Structure 1
Amino acid sequence: MRRLAPALTLGAAALIAVTGCGAQSAAPLGNVKLAAAEAVQQSAQRAGEVTSYSADLVLDATGGEKGAGKIQGSVVYQSQPQLATDITLDTITFDGQNVPGGARAIFTGDTVYVKSQLLARFAGANKPWLKASISDIEAEGQKDVRGFLEQARQFDLAGTVKLLTTSKDVKAVGTETVGGVETTHYSGTFPVDEAAQVLDPAKQEPLKERLSSVKDVKFDLWADGQSLPRKVTLSGSENGDSLNLTVLFKGFNEPVTIAAPPAEQVGDLPKNPAPQGG
């Protein structure tokens, strides 16, 4: 049952751009037209001012040690009254195998609740949900789980759009309607090494590792009249490895409900879960 780690790692990779955001609000730009590079900068700023949102995502990857894989799911995020994220991965496949039941993770404060048939089997759990304090997942026995959580929480919406600001070739390519909203479509590329430098130091190496097989990442950004990112795609390929990520954002600053699962359905994540055979 050591396939837990690659399954969750692949799932976490899909969470780029969808697990966090900043706070406060800003006035819309109205009919002001911006140069492409300036528009992406403005979108990065606006992304950091969102207090809640929902997103649908799809990740397809090929090559590498895990072979072909696909992730499909959704995310609900809020920063007020407290930081919380609800991540549902309905489809997780890798190397031709489907992870039964997908996975779901709820982050509230410093606690994470995870629902996964695979993780429950790995941990020998008898409850559908497992919980743990983020600070407690430092024991060596939680290495696989820790890796998943670290990656899942690592990127935020503002940080991801900020990566796009390092592009030297971004251009506007037209207007399109996304989710019923009129947007301007921007396209370009960014170099992974240079883009990593705009992130917090703790996030730089993990980004480089995740995109180690891709030197340059192609992106497309669809921004609405308030410069909010309604859709982002990232893609890249090199030496037989490829990735394609699509995220659709909606419900900016709308009320959301993110709550811990019922107590009777929750068990504690074992301190040192023993690998299961199979």
Structure 2
Amino acid sequence: MNKRSVHLPVGAGLAALLLATGAVSCGKGQEADKSPAMTPAAAVAKAAKHSEQLTSMHYRVSGRVPQEGRVEADAGLRLKPDMAMSMKVSVPSLGSDATAEVRLVGKAMYINAGEEASKELDGKTWMKLDMSGTDAGKQLDRLGAASQAEQNPAAQSTLLTGADEVKKVGTDTVDGVRTTHYEGTVDIDTLDKSLKKESRLTAEERRKAVEQYRTMGVDELTMDMWIDGSDHTKRFRIRGDADEGPLDLTITFLDYNKPVKVTAPPAGETTDLAEMMKELQAG
């Protein structure tokens, strides 16, 4: 993908990720402050608990990431009964054609980097990478950290529970939804140690996020969370200083627990990247 290689934002996934039991709406028409006696820390913890029980989500990402600069993405992520993801991402700072589409189907990741990339793939528009193989997984990371698509953005939003102090900023309307805005600072080392207290599944999801930030050289995160009247996270923002530049991403959740259908691209339009790498190495 040459210099147009795209570092996928919070996703698969992260995304990550990406929130609650039976939540199928974003809480429109409900008051954000229906529990005025609840402390900021308790409100964030309640939203985090809801996030852990989601089965699917659609979300929008915008902001800046190290190296690439500004990024924009729209994604759908299914967590149960099996994981699947579809994400379209663009990097305006690299030009109007710096776009990519990524799909996760079973153990395979499919990447469509556009017409320019297809010229190097014998006219095929999709690259397939089987993530079940160790070598393939390493190649995936080299393709611009596409493995981030496996991260759950909902799990990343729960990192604010690791802040030493959470404060209420005020109330805002996000995509027509009344929300309460909270903010806090999270130390990566402290957060890493606190994972031992979490449930196995929650700790595993959060550990992926923590490792991502640690690899980027981020020591501390400033996090904002907007919680709707149903105690679900409607939006969250993550800011930090990485080794190769500033990180500032905002993730807005469009819906929860609604169907997310992802299909593999036609075989005739797909190049197996692992096989291509083998041929290059053999040559």
Cα displacement string for residues 200-238 of structure 1 (whole angstroms, at most 9, x for unaligned residues): 39634333122x1x4321111001122211111111248
1:234 correspondence with 2:231 = no
Uncovered stretches (5+) of structure 2, i.e. residues with no partner = 196-202
Uncovered stretches (5+) of structure 1, i.e. residues with no partner = none
Q: How does 1:134-149 map to 2 (within 5 A)?
A: 134-136=131-133, 138-139=135-136, 142=139, 144-145=141-142, 148-149=145-146
Larger relative CO (CA 8 A, sep 6+): 1 or 2? 2
| Aligned with residue 32 of structure 1, among 31, 35, 57 | 35
1:150 correspondence with 2:147 = yes
TM-score of the aligned structures, taking structure 1 as reference length: 0.78
Deviation of residue 116 (structure 1)?
Answer: 0.8
1:265 correspondence with 2:246 = no
Inter-CA distance 233–128: structure 2 relative to 1 (3 Å threshold)? same
Deviation of residue 264 (structure 1)?
Answer: 3.2
- Indicate the larger mover: 13-22 or 258-267: 13-22
Query: C-alpha distance in 2, partners of 1:132/1:240?
Result: 27
Query: C-alpha distance in 2, partners of 1:145/1:118?
Result: 21
Q: How does 1:159-170 map to 2 (within 5 A)?
A: 159-170=155-166
Query: C-alpha distance in 2, partners of 1:265/1:77?
Result: 23
Q: How does 1:44-193 map to 2 (within 5 A)?
A: 44-61=48-65, 66=67, 69-91=69-91, 93=93, 97-98=94-95, 100-117=97-114, 120=117, 124-136=121-133, 138-139=135-136, 142=139, 144-145=141-142, 148-153=145-150, 155-193=151-189
- Indicate the larger mover: 20-29 or 233-242: 20-29
Q: Which runs of 4+ in 1 moved over 6 A?
A: 26-30
Q: Does the CA contact (< 8 Å) of 1:164 and 1:190 recur in 2?
A: yes
Inter-CA distance 131–208: structure 2 relative to 1 (3 Å threshold)? same
What letter corresponds to residue 145 of structure 2 in structure 1?
Answer: F
Query: C-alpha distance in 2, partners of 1:140/1:108?
Result: 15
1:216 correspondence with 2:220 = yes
Query: C-alpha distance in 1, partners of 2:129/2:269?
Result: 14
Inter-CA distance 234–206: structure 2 relative to 1 (3 Å threshold)? closer
1:3 correspondence with 2:7 = no
Q: Which residue of 1 aligns with 2:213?
A: 207
SS of aligned partner of 1:50: coil
Query: C-alpha distance in 2, partners of 1:238/1:140?
Result: 24
Q: Does the CA contact (< 8 Å) of 2:16 and 2:155 recur in 1?
A: no
Query: C-alpha distance in 2, partners of 1:232/1:225?
Result: 15
Deviation of residue 160 (structure 1)?
Answer: 0.8
Give the helix-richer structure, 1 or 2. Answer: 2
Q: Does the CA contact (< 8 Å) of 1:21 and 1:50 recur in 2?
A: no
Query: C-alpha distance in 2, partners of 1:261/1:2?
Result: 22
Give aligned-pair identity as a percent.
Answer: 26
Deviation of residue 254 (structure 1)?
Answer: 2.1
Q: Does the CA contact (< 8 Å) of 1:21 and 1:79 recur in 2?
A: no
Query: C-alpha distance in 2, partners of 1:69/1:231?
Result: 21
Inter-CA distance 54–44: structure 2 relative to 1 (3 Å threshold)? same
Deviation of residue 253 (structure 1)?
Answer: 1.6
SS of aligned partner of 1:12: coil
Query: C-alpha distance in 1, partners of 2:140/2:81?
Result: 31
Q: Between Structure 1 and Structure 2, how many residues are aligned?
A: 261
